[in-house]
Chain A
Amino acid sequence: MSMTERLLFWIAIVVLVVATFGVKGKVDNLEKQVSQVNQAFGGE
């Protein structure tokens, strides 16, 4: 396995990890908002 191939794999992994953490942050934020909305509408 060449160094270039290894580097490309690592770039893909880093991009995926960053994207996963980004989306995870968004999901956590949305979960908070959903619970606030549910509280505001009396637990609907």
Chain B
Amino acid sequence: MNPKIERSVYIGIIVVLSVILFGLGKKELELKKQIPVTAEELYKKLSNPKIKVQIIDVRELTSSDEVGGYEDSRIPGALPFPNCDETNMNTENLKDALKRINPYMYTVIVSTDGNPDIFKKCTTKFNNAQNLTGGMKAWQEAGLPDESGEYTPPKAGGGGGCL
């Protein structure tokens, strides 16, 4: 066979396979978004240093309801992002948190009760996101560890896990 034609055939096969793989990868991310993660599963993921998880807490900073706001009780290491709205990020600490949010990282969205509407709003901002079933309420009911207080950016060289 003519080397030029042979090369073109190989390149064609590689391009077709790459397109199929890319399409399947996209479909996988879309399907993942539809499957919520339970509090126990999230805890297991956080306990595994091999899995990198970004936790985004979309609740208000303070709240008078039984679950409370971000500053009352949150999953350790969670970043505040009230209502998934950048315009709410107006203090120095929140601006720092906004800078740390990585839209391409595997993300779990935490709301008060796992509201699918707020999760839908957030999925436009995160490529690979899952909703926490039952939200912070489920996390608290499962008796899993939490932390409270104002968000403070991690110190340089601090290191260590969050759980």
Contacts and interface: CB of A to CB of B under 8 A. Distances in A.
Do A and B make up one complex? yes
Interface of A: 1, 5-6, 9, 12-13, 16-17, 19-20, 23-24, 26-27, 30-31, 33-34, 37, 44
Given A23-B28, A27-B28, A17 B35 contact: no
Interface of B is mostly: helix
Contacts, number: 48
Interface string B69-89: 000000000000000000000
Contact of A30 (B3, B10, B17, B28): B28
Given A1-B6, A37-B36, A27 B31 contact: yes
A34 B32 CA distance: 8
B14 A12 contact: yes
10 contacts: A1-B6, A16-B17, A16-B18, A19-B21, A20-B17, A20-B21, A23-B21, A24-B24, A30-B31, A31-B31
Interface size class of B (residues with CB under 8 A): 20 to 34
B32 A30 contact: yes
